[in-house]
Structure 1
Amino acid sequence: MKFRFLIILQFACVHCAKAQVNSDLESISFKIDSLLAYYQENEPGVAIGLVKENQLIFERYFGLANLDYEIPIHKNTSFHVASVSKQFTAFAILLLEEEGKLSLADDIRVYLPEMHEFENTITISHLLNHTSGLKDKYNLLRLSGWTLDDVITNEQVLEIIFNQETLNFQPNEKHMYSNANYALLAEIVARVSKMSFAEFTQQRIFEPLQMNDSKFVDQKGQVVKNKSLSYFRIDSIYVEDLFNNFSVGATNLNTTITDLSKWAINYQTKRIGSQAVFDKMHTLTPLNNGENYGYANGLFINTYRGFKRLEHSGQDASYQAYLATFPELNISVMFTNINGEINGARMVYDIMDICLEVYGNDKIAIKTIPNKLTHQEPITLTPDELKPYQGHYWDEGDNYSREIKFENDTLRLITSNGKTALVPVGEHSFELDIEEYVAVSFLEEKMIITLDDGYQIVSERYTPANYNATTLDEFTGRYYSPELNAYYSFSIIGNQLVAKHTRLGEFYLEAIKKDYFIGDKGSFLKVVFIRNTSNELTGFEVSSSRAKNVSFLKIE
């Protein structure tokens, strides 16, 4: 009788567990469908997957994969996942290291002798962690005259990286995301394994995991079954958003939600890759100053709502992708999007919140509340004590000017949004006269803005430029970069200096201070002209977001 009771109880428990699982999935399904209700099924769409306890427990396919033929997104639809590719590249490197075929401490020139010999060694580890200082391949391609509509081969990308003669910073001094790093890693995999990067990942990763619909696309026209296309909208019409860069390593993995789930499950099961490989993949390497920066071997490592998260997003053209794993909960969230009108980043966080509301209840989500800085008691300073702080201050990080003026016995911060009084709280310290805490201090020709969480913005005093058509004339002429094999001409339109490339058009430059200009387009964010000891112009250095101080020589 007792045995029969236990059997009945066991079946009852299983039934309750299944009922709970079904209830959880119904809740998730309802809420995700609510997110998608804002969009149309006859437009480019998304695919969503959820892995729990090493099973793909939820899938949602919405919208069209191809507008020309009205092909819906389905289980076998293949998506370009952009920078989500990087974790596969890092994994390939770690497999080779485990086999003793390379070391992360190796100088990359051992495998890539074409690279310039910089003053400090760049190691494979620096590439993996974006601490090499190498300039980003996309920024370099753009500066050299390529557009995103151009067909760009892997060989062309490698050539422009090999031609670099300067770095953004010394290796391991900073962390700056650069796609050049992962293009080089893929080439190292190819040279060490003596097969193409696409072949290596196919044999060593995709086939063992039965990721049958995954491949790295390394040439134009390569067949990808059930391939989706990306789109953006002009007025009310969708047009295809082309991505013609066929460099691998940093991008160009095509895969499905089902295959991504197999990869995510491998984080737990380790069907391929030893525990040591995964430990290394998830280990943060500090900078030279001891700071960590939250990136480890193809993955961002952080916390979200109190839970450890391994994540990476990606975007090329209007393709968007995201993969996040919460190892404590054994949950992974996968997302792909081919519609430039959909805010993929917002949708991803909504999806994660939905999942964590259901599966994160077994642990209290720890929300770290930082120690906020608070207002201090004001003091009185005389006009003579206040006036020395007047002036213009330049924020090099954000390319932004701030002005301090003395008006009506008060210092005021002047911005495009208006004027805000500075309340003295110390000899060199002030606070903005607003409800939120924003401190402003002055030290050795610098203005330091401190927010309530301690974050600081440093600006340096400068004298604004006062150029006209006559004084700008010395900057005109033709300039050449041997690193990029690119030419730019500079001329004056009105009272403004303008740079021009034959393929890219015109870049209007605004004078900030002596020999220092900022541009109106991403590849020309900052231009600083260089002079010799005789004060003659010899060239300029141009900076974009991930390519700093690219040199051009004045030739005419």
Structure 2
Amino acid sequence: MPRKLLVSSFLFAALTCAPALAAPVTAAPPRDRHKQVDAHFSQWNSKTAPGCAVGISRDGVLDYARGYGMADLEHDAPVTPRSVFSIASISKQFTAFSIGLLAQEGKLSLDDDIRKYVPELPAYGKTLTLAHLMHHTNGLREQGQLLNLAGWRGDDVSTEADILWALSRQRGVNFEPGAEVLYGNAAYTLLAVVVRRVSGQSLQAFAHERIFKPLGMSDTRFREDHTELFPRRAWGYTSRDGGGWRLSISNSAHYGAGNLFSTVGDMLKWEQNLLDARVGGQALVALVRTSGRLNDGTVTGYGGGLRLMGYRGLDMVSHDGMDGGFRTEALLFPAQRVAIVTLCNSGLIDASVLARKVADVYLGAHLKDELPPAVKMAETELAALAGDYWSPLTDEVVRLEFKDGALRQVGVPTAFVPMGDGAFRPGESMHVWRFSSPRELSIRDAWPTTRPFVRVTEPKPTASALAAFAGQYRSDEVDMTYTVRVADGKLAIRWPRRDEVVLEAVGGDRFAGSLGAVTFTRAASGGVDGLTISNRRLRRFRAERLQRAEAVRAASAAGN
């Protein structure tokens, strides 16, 4: 059998043994569909670059599977349908399903307080339930960013104990549980801890016994040891300055939010289970395919590790993943009984876009054009909207510029497309950025929580005024001291083991950099007494300014 169609026989058996719940309603896809799929992946079908594997099933029957590009550049190993990829955040649905299996057995309830199982977490005044964790309505700060602020480098090994250490020290959350929906990873790391503490098995062992083995997913496993090797493994890559490729892989030794490895064949078996419920039964499949709700009843569009947002007029169950050089996407169209899995090992490839292009090929007869048309705006009107905007809800800063005839976010190449009535979309996205006036902006992305922003109008500090912010700042929440200094006419912040971050003045006491928004706070006397750091997944993280004697001791202890 040719390599491009290399799929082991057990995949066909697993995809066809379960009875269909309903006849598919899909019109026959075009006869040349495989050629069309190949055309979409042709850019990545190289013997000198990483690539992707794609798998498509229709009504439980494998329709096409192929690999493009290289799984291992060092050993000249091509991608095949049996290549094993890190599927990154697609892992979350298996963690949620494991929690659901334990709930079915009466061993826990989704309404349980997380502190019943992880008592080392602080009490925030409001009950934080397992359902809050599962549906991303928990408000926990992003675990990776906390480790970053604690001095971890990107290639450091991080463990479950490290995550629990950081979370247990936090004095605040991004928002009250149930008030908003905000995607994050800490919740699913905690759910993996719950599985172990309730079942007596690691999530790896539990999922293998209860999910992967019954479904014949023999190439799927959670990775407990970051040094573990797998047969037919695809390595993650990103581009190298000056040309070529370099490895880009996670060294995390914890899982639940990610760190699951699989193949397109195994993932198609799982997608079929989300239809036919061989494992877990229809009640559990319905649970993970049911959206969470906010305290006010708003539907979030996120179930148990599954996004429940449609695509071009069709219901779709999906999830994407991004970890190191891996980019992944799994789409399921329940009514049409079509599943598409795209696993890529390059940070330059958008697996989500590719998976949707495959959906366009297979389901084109059913799809609607939902993208609002562009309208023309005068360049003077567009230029008037450029500026810096701050959100009183999230404490974020977004910076907009007029460049090359279009409105854009600073540092992001995608142009904003005007849609009329003050609304814009970034490129082909369905996200809506709406100006109610040149001073007020609201952002609505894939989540139902709209973020309000107001234009920053305070003057930027003069070069001489920057010295007032220089000093050392201490956060006990991550046991770290930060040094702020003036360098080349700008503020910069650094801390042990991390590269210095340059801060661009936004206005008043507010600055922006790769950390997000950095806002200096003042005491009643008017003197600077601390700073906060805020971005999309971490809000108002505070560090207190140290007095001179304290700063000297802190610098000595940190080796600054």
Q: Does 1:111 align with 2:117?
A: yes
How far did 1:267 drift? 1.5
For residues 323 and 532 of structure 2, what CA distance do their matches in structure 1 show?
A: 28
How far 1:370 moved relative to its partner?
7.7
Instruction: Decide which of 492, 516, 533 is 2:524's aligned counterpart.
Output: 533
Correspondent of 1:514 among 508, 533, 539: 508
Distance in 1 (alpha carbons) for counterparts of 2:131 and 2:306: 13
Query: Aligned to 1:307, what secondary structure does the other structure show?
Result: coil
> What code does the residue aligned with 1:48 have?
V
Deviation at 1:77, TM superposition (A): 1.6
Secondary structure at 2:37 match in 1: helix
Residues 187, 62 of structure 1: alpha-carbon distance in 2 compared, 3 angstrom cutoff? same
Q: Distance in 2 between matches of 1:292 and 1:107?
A: 22
Structure 1 unaligned segments of length 5 or more: list them.
Answer: 1-20, 376-388, 403-413, 421-433
Where in structure 2 are the equivalents of 1:375-524 lying within 5 Å? 394-396=389-391, 399-400=397-398, 436-438=420-422, 441=436, 447=440, 458-460=452-454, 462-519=456-513, 521=514, 524=515
Deviation of 1:181 (Å):
0.8
TM-score (norm 1): 0.80
Letter in 2 for 1:307: L
Identify if the C-alpha distance between structure 1 residues 322 and 418 changes in structure 2 by more than 3 Å, giving closer, same or farther.
Answer: closer
Q: Using structure 2 for the length normalisation, give the TM-score.
A: 0.80
Alignment of 1:263-274 (within 5 A): 263-274=270-281
Q: Distance in 1 between matches of 2:476 and 2:78?
A: 48
One-letter amino acid matched to 2:256:
G
2: CA distance, partners of 1:448 / 1:39: 38
Identity %: 30
The 2-side partners of 1:457 and 1:86 are apart by 26
Per-residue CA shift, 1:303-323, capped at 9, x if unaligned? 212211000000111111111
Partner Cα distance (2:324, 2:166) in 1 = 21
The size of the alignment, in residue pairs, is: 485
Asked if 2 retains the 8 angstrom alpha-carbon contact of 1:469 and 1:494, the reply is: no
29, 37, 40: which one pairs with 2:42?
37
- Following superposition of structure 1 onto structure 2, how do residues 8-407 of structure 1 map, counting pairs within 5 Å? 24=29, 26-42=31-47, 43-234=49-240, 235-357=242-364, 361=365, 364-366=366-368, 394-396=389-391, 399-400=397-398
Tell me how far apart the structure 1 counterparts of residues 405 and 345 of structure 2 sit (CA, whole Å): 40
CA distance change for structure 1 residues 448 and 483 in 2, over 3 Å: closer, same or farther?
Answer: closer
Deviation at residue 391 of structure 1 after TM alignment: 13
Partner SS state of residue 299, structure 1: coil
After superposition, the Cα gap between the structure-2 partners of 1:303 and 1:464, relative to the gap in structure 1 and judged at 3 Å, is same
Q: Note the aligned Cα RMSD (angstroms).
A: 3.1
Amino acid at match of 2:481: Y
CA distance in 2, matches of 1:401, 1:212: 47
Distance between the aligned counterparts of 1:99 and 1:89, measured in 2? 16
Kept in 1, the 8 Å contact 2:471–2:545? The answer is yes
Shift of 1:343: 3.3
**Alpha-carbon distance, 1:533 to partner:** 3.0
**Runs of 5+ consecutive residues of structure 2 not aligned to the other structure:** 1-25, 378-383, 408-417, 424-434, 552-560
* Cα offset, 1:101, TM superposition: 0.6
Question: Aligned in 2, Cα 1:342/1:368: closer, same or farther, shift over 3 Å?
Answer: closer
Q: 1:226 to 1:294 in 2, by over 3 A?
A: same
Counterpart in the other structure of 2:533:
542
Return the alpha-carbon distance in structure 2 between the equivalents of residues 185 and 91 of structure 1. Answer: 11
Matched residue type, 2:389? W
Residue identity in the other structure for 1:350: K
Which residue of the partner structure matches residue 543 of structure 2? 552
In structure 2, give the amino acid aligned to 1:394: Y
Mapped to 1, the partners of 2:455 and 2:233 lie a distance apart of 54
Contact (CA 8 Å) 1:465, 1:511: kept in 2 or not?
A: no
CA distance in 2, matches of 1:528, 1:92: 41
Distance 2:419 2:218 in 1: 57
Q: What amino acid maps onto 2:422 in structure 1? A: V
**Which amino acid is 2:190 matched to?**
L
3-state SS of 1:305 partner: coil
Q: For the structure 1 residues 392 and 41, does the alpha-carbon distance in structure 2 shift closer, same or farther, using more than 3 Å as the test?
A: closer
| Cα distance in 1, alignment partners of residues 203 and 525 from structure 2 | 51
* Structure of higher CA gyration radius: 1
Structure 2 counterpart of 1:41, which letter? S
The 2-side partners of 1:390 and 1:212 are apart by: 54
Q: Given the superposition, is the C-alpha separation of residues 392 and 203 from structure 1 closer, same or farther in structure 2, using an over 3 Å criterion? A: closer
- 1:449 and 1:505, CA in 2 relative to 1: closer, same or farther beyond 3 A? closer
Given that 2:142 and 2:538 are in contact with CA atoms closer than 8 Å, whether structure 1 keeps it comes out as yes
- Could you list the per-position Cα deviations for residues 494-518 of structure 1 after superposition, in whole angstroms to 9, with x for gaps in the alignment? 3322111232222122233332222
State the match for 1:410 in structure 2. none
Distance in 1, matches of 2:376 and 2:442, equals: 14
SS in 1 for 2:310: strand
Please say if residues 133 and 188 of structure 2, whose CA atoms lie closer than 8 Å, have aligned partners that are also in contact. yes
- Matches of 2:201 and 2:89, distance apart in 1: 22
Deviates more, 1:204-213 or 1:69-78: 69-78
| 2:10 equivalent in structure 1 | none
CA–CA distance in structure 1, aligned partners of residues 385 and 182 of structure 2: 34
Contact 1:139–1:544 (8 Å) recurs in 2: no
